[in-house]
A and B are shown apart, each in its own frame.
Chain A
Amino acid sequence: MTQKDHGTEESKIVLQVANYNVDFWVEGVWYPAAIDMNFQVEAGKVLAIVGESGSGKSTTAMGLMDLLATNARVSGSVIVRGQEMIGAKKSQLRKFRGREVAYIFQEPMTALNPVYTIGFQIVETLRTHFDMGPNEAKTRAIELLTMVEIPTPEASFNKYPHQLSGGQRQRAMIAQSLACDPGLLVADEPTTALDVTVQAEILDLIRNLRDKLNSAILLITHDMGVVADLSDDILVMKDGNTVEYGTADQVFNRPQHPYTKELLAAVPKLGSVAVRELSPELVGQPAVLKLENVSIEYPKSGRIPAFRAVTDFSLEIFPGEIVGLVGESGSGKTTVGRAAIGLLPTVEGKIEIVGRDMTKPTPQELREIRRHTGIVFQDPVSSLNPRLPIGESIGEPLFLSGDAKGAELDKRVEDLLDSVELPRSYRNRYPHELSGGQRQRVGIARALALTPDLLIADEPTSALDVSVQARFLDLLQELQDKLKFACLFISHDLAVVDILSHRIAVMQNGRLIEVGSRDQILKSPREDYTKRLISSVPVPDPAEQRLRREARLAGK
């Protein structure tokens, strides 16, 4: 059965879904997560399901193979290669999972078992589904690793997931799911956890595999930019409903539904906004943050030697200015951000915050400086205390600095909630009752509670959906115009930085490689690395994406 018949017209449709519903049981009520869906995927084609988080796109995909939690209920018809999957026996479903329908998940770190080598995990999949000897399986596994373009497949075979980079892990994951030459590949946000440059490579890989293997691919994503170049058909979902379903050309060039248009507009485009000028009264003032030849090390612990995360880094930020700091994960951006606010000590160089030398700060100096600085963290889940109502989280800096107490504090918290456009009634809520975007607003409100001179924003939008991100960026920009704080905006996404920044700094491997005004970096980048970053930013336009992909491949 390894050789599948792709010849006849009927067998071209790999997946046929009709009147498909998924409901979740929540405290006595069936909540619909996917409503009356109809779609089909043919061999060698890509169907993209696009929608925001909570729109039911992942649920739809997981329900196809009955992979949902016990409080879910699936109805309708799902036909995979002529076989009805809903109501099928468990043994039959198991046979189809992995063999006919393979999944690629969002988080390659959690989807791969950390205690086994990736080779072992691929061999395991192979031997579960085929009558295969260990040597034969190993040969096939290495073949698969070669196919997904992992460097040195023989050596990688014996590596554990943590020894690979995020992109390579995702490749290993794809190799595993391709092990049985599945008819349908379901890719659930395969690139969301990855850097833009790596994302572009993985998308290229998926495209190549589609051509090579003639599999049907169901791609799930929230980012219109990602699907622009890859998908043949697109299905847009909102709140469990199918909003729009058509070919890529239709959806991108002639979107019918306002929601689709909104999603398309939310994808940040390079150079789409006018150059931001510093307001004249702020020009020529002394720097708020001054880093001079700073090096930062993570001290050695046990047998692990000290790790130098940032080397010889110099940057100045002036009042009222937003400086974007871009680079791939692991380039040391976050480390710079944390050092700039006194959370990490430096080993070399000089840091000056709001006119004070903070190279070797005393606890007293640190307390003093914290009245003038704020930070918005990357992860909205982890950055708010789950057991504190958000009003208390926001008011904490005010309370601790002794600025406000009692009724005065209440009023200030309400004002802050107003300023980030959250209802005042939210102050008694807990973080888990808020969505990701709302939590990040709380994060901003807390960071701005003391009206700081310097704000560090550490990838505040990387965990957000594209449309939520757009609104978050608007809000941040408004606040900055009003309060005129200086801001170091850290991001891996050049398009996001482009919207906000006056100046852009590019980091690679712990070093600052390029810094300049926004126009200078985007229009005439000096470094190849910067050029690569720019060309990797996805654009929600199939034609342009194709041009850029070809340019990227030609440049290799």
Chain B
Amino acid sequence: MSNVNQAAGSNPEKNENEIQSRDTVGLTQKQIIVKRFVKHKAAMGSLFGLIFIFIFVFTATGLQFGNSQNPTTVPGWWKFKITDIDPEGAIAASCNGGVTGCPTLDLAPSFLDGDGIRIGAHPFGTDIIGTDYFALVVRGAQQSILVMLIVGFLGIVLGTTIGAIAGFYGGLIDAVLMRLTDMFLVTPTLIIGSVIGYRFGNFGVIPLALLLGFFAWMGLARFVRTEFLTLREREFVDAARVAGASDRRIIFKHILPNAMGIIIVSGTLLASGAILAESALSYLGFGVKPPDVSLGLLISQYQDSFSISPWLFWWPGTLIVSIALFVNFIGDGLRDAFDPRQRRHISFKDRRNAKELNGKRP
């Protein structure tokens, strides 16, 4: 930072924005965004959490492709599959007066009055017939994450495209696209999903995700349209037009980056909502069907055993909630990072520890 010549008026414009530009000199936009995102503690933590869950669940049981009758599988590091039944194991892990299939995982070390840290044969317990619950939960999480990714991607692409076109061109195009959006908005996704599921039976998780994604873009389209309606009136759009930019260039290069905030926020909400929607459909019995599992299906199957074998409910429940929260936190961090003017909240500690400049401007 340069020293200001206090002897008045040498350069009236020079210092006006020095405070703002202090930490952003010489960085490109991408670098600024990355830097701001990395600074966001909740978002970074969630990102690592999500990556961990992702790697953990996809390497554990291995992957399963194709339909459930004739699957192609890649082996994983966990010894059980969702089709393996181990009744002896279940009985071995009994606890509390004969309830079978208790989790063998114990994290309380012996000096804290526990039985020592151990994982055991069935760390998450087993279900009633002796299927390893860890394998089931991990498989369920794979399905749910897949749904999340597909629905999030489809929703963002469809919503952004339709919203952008409607907002940018306006008039007749806008009217037609928005009535189309209205039509989709009044269609109850759950009922459509149930009807299709009921009519065509078990058709696997990917078609289910595509269906959900196809009915999930409307809110985002509305947001993006509103954003475009305001942004296209800004003078920089006229400036780009005078410079000779085509409509496509104006939409993608000039307006879209300015609408990123809203797209990311709704996109992450969409993704975490998709997990819940899949759970709801599976819970109703129309999404993923046994013997394949998803987190929602596990919860629906074992809701009755909550009082006797609560772990059958807790493991998938915790996982759903943490994935949804992680995705939302990441979205929050991205939104803050994309807005160049967003400033952090000031705590009392910050205020107390602040440096004094004693009446001198930098």
Residue positions of A touching B, CB distance < 8 A: 21, 23, 25-32, 35-36, 52-54, 70-71, 73, 238-241, 243, 257-259, 262-263, 338, 341, 343, 367, 370-371, 373-375, 377-379, 382-389, 393, 396-397, 400-401, 425, 428-430, 432-438, 443, 446, 449, 465, 467-468, 471
Look across to chain B and name the residue whose beta carbon is closest to the beta carbon of A367: B244
Which among B12, B28, B242, B354 is the interface contact of A29 at CB below 8 angstroms? B354
Could you list 8 further interchain pairs (A-B, Cβ under 8 angstroms) beyond the known A400-B243, A429-B25, A443-B239?
A370-B244, A385-B240, A385-B254, A388-B257, A400-B249, A428-B27, A430-B24, A449-B243
Which among A23, A262, A438 is the interface contact of B9 at CB below 8 angstroms? A262
Interface residues of chain B: helix, strand, loop or mixed (majority): loop
Shortest CB distance B6–A (Å): 7
B20 and A384 form a contact (CB under 8 A): no
B29 and A259 form a contact (CB under 8 A): no
B contact residues around A468 at 8 Å (CB): 12-13
A contact residues around B25 at 8 Å (CB): 429
Given that A384-B236, A389-B28 are contacting pairs, would A28 and B359 also be in contact in the complex, using a CB cutoff of 8 Å? no
B contact residues around A437 at 8 Å (CB): 12-13
Contacts A/B (CB < 8 Å), 8 sampled: A27-B23, A263-B9, A367-B244, A371-B244, A377-B239, A388-B257, A436-B16, A468-B13
B156-164, B290-298, B312-320, B345-353: which lies at the interface: B345-353
B13 and A30 form a contact (CB under 8 A): no
CA distance A29 to B358 in the complex (A): 11
B contact residues around A53 at 8 Å (CB): 16
Beta-carbon contacts under 8 Å, B101-115 to A: none
- What 0/1 readout, one digit per residue, does chain B (332-362) give for beta carbons within 8 Å of chain A? 0000000011001010001101111101111
Shortest CB distance B166–A (Å): 17
Which among B19, B244, B258 is the interface contact of A26 at CB below 8 angstroms? B19
What 10 A-B pairs are tightest by C-beta distance, nearest first?
A: A259-B8, A435-B16, A397-B243, A383-B235, A387-B257, A433-B21, A400-B244, A377-B235, A385-B236, A262-B9
B245 at the binding interface (Cβ < 8 Å)? yes
Shortest CB distance A376–B (Å): 9
B234 at the binding interface (Cβ < 8 Å)? yes
Shortest CB distance A121–B (Å): 26
Which among B17, B22, B244 is the interface contact of A434 at CB below 8 angstroms? B17
Which among A32, A71, A449 is the interface contact of B361 at CB below 8 angstroms? A32
Which among A343, A389, A446 is the interface contact of B29 at CB below 8 angstroms? A389
CA distance A299 to B13 in the complex (A): 41
B238 at the binding interface (Cβ < 8 Å)? yes
B350 and A385 form a contact (CB under 8 A): no
B172 at the binding interface (Cβ < 8 Å)? no
CA distance A454 to B362 in the complex (A): 42
B26 at the binding interface (Cβ < 8 Å)? yes
Which among A241, A382, A467 is the interface contact of B234 at CB below 8 angstroms? A382
CA distance A373 to B243 in the complex (A): 9
B contact residues around A446 at 8 Å (CB): 239, 243
Shortest CB distance A553–B (Å): 35
Interface residues of chain A: helix, strand, loop or mixed (majority): mixed
Which among A258, A343, A432, A438 is the interface contact of B238 at CB below 8 angstroms? A343
A contact residues around B29 at 8 Å (CB): 387, 389, 430
B contact residues around A397 at 8 Å (CB): 242-244
B contact residues around A52 at 8 Å (CB): 12
Shortest CB distance B133–A (Å): 48
Shortest CB distance A61–B (Å): 19
Shortest CB distance A159–B (Å): 26
B303 at the binding interface (Cβ < 8 Å)? no
- What 0/1 readout, one digit per residue, does chain B (1-42) give for beta carbons within 8 Å of chain A? 000101111001101110111111111110000000000000
B239 and A238 form a contact (CB under 8 A): no
Number of A-B contacts (CB under 8 A): 155
Shortest CB distance B115–A (Å): 49
B241 at the binding interface (Cβ < 8 Å)? yes
A contact residues around B12 at 8 Å (CB): 52, 437, 465, 467-468, 471
Given that A31-B357, A435-B16 are contacting pairs, would A396 and B240 also be in contact in the complex, using a CB cutoff of 8 Å? yes
B254 and A29 form a contact (CB under 8 A): no
CA distance A383 to B340 in the complex (A): 17
B contact residues around A396 at 8 Å (CB): 240, 243, 245
A25 and B244 form a contact (CB under 8 A): no
Shortest CB distance A244–B (Å): 10
CA distance A27 to B353 in the complex (A): 11
Which among A21, A29, A382, A393 is the interface contact of B355 at CB below 8 angstroms? A29
CA distance A54 to B236 in the complex (A): 25
Look across to chain B and name the residue whose beta carbon is closest to the beta carbon of A24: B19
A432 and B340 form a contact (CB under 8 A): yes
Look across to chain B and name the residue whose beta carbon is closest to the beta carbon of A260: B8
A contact residues around B24 at 8 Å (CB): 429-430, 433
Which among B236, B239, B356 is the interface contact of A30 at CB below 8 angstroms? B356
Look across to chain A and name the residue whose beta carbon is closest to the beta carbon of B355: A29
Shortest CB distance A488–B (Å): 14
Looking at B17, B28, B340, B341, the one whose CB has the most chain A CB atoms below 10 A away is B17
A343 and B355 form a contact (CB under 8 A): no
CA distance A338 to B245 in the complex (A): 17
CA distance A437 to B24 in the complex (A): 20
Look across to chain A and name the residue whose beta carbon is closest to the beta carbon of B358: A32
Shortest CB distance B37–A (Å): 16
Looking at B12, B21, B249, the one whose CB has the most chain A CB atoms below 10 A away is B12
Looking at A36, A262, A371, A430, the one whose CB has the most chain B CB atoms below 10 A away is A430
B contact residues around A425 at 8 Å (CB): 26
B contact residues around A371 at 8 Å (CB): 244
Shortest CB distance A403–B (Å): 10
Look across to chain B and name the residue whose beta carbon is closest to the beta carbon of A33: B361
Shortest CB distance A334–B (Å): 11
A239 and B361 form a contact (CB under 8 A): yes
B340 and A239 form a contact (CB under 8 A): no
B contact residues around A378 at 8 Å (CB): 235
B242 and A32 form a contact (CB under 8 A): no
- What 0/1 readout, one digit per residue, does chain B (214-253) give for beta carbons within 8 Å of chain A? 0000000000000000000011101111111100010001
B258 and A387 form a contact (CB under 8 A): yes
Shortest CB distance A260–B (Å): 8
CA distance A23 to B357 in the complex (A): 9
Look across to chain B and name the residue whose beta carbon is closest to the beta carbon of A341: B242
B8 and A343 form a contact (CB under 8 A): no
CA distance A370 to B351 in the complex (A): 52
Look across to chain A and name the residue whose beta carbon is closest to the beta carbon of B237: A385
Given that A382-B236, A397-B243 are contacting pairs, would A30 and B8 also be in contact in the complex, using a CB cutoff of 8 Å? no
A contact residues around B362 at 8 Å (CB): 31
A contact residues around B23 at 8 Å (CB): 27
B21 and A388 form a contact (CB under 8 A): no
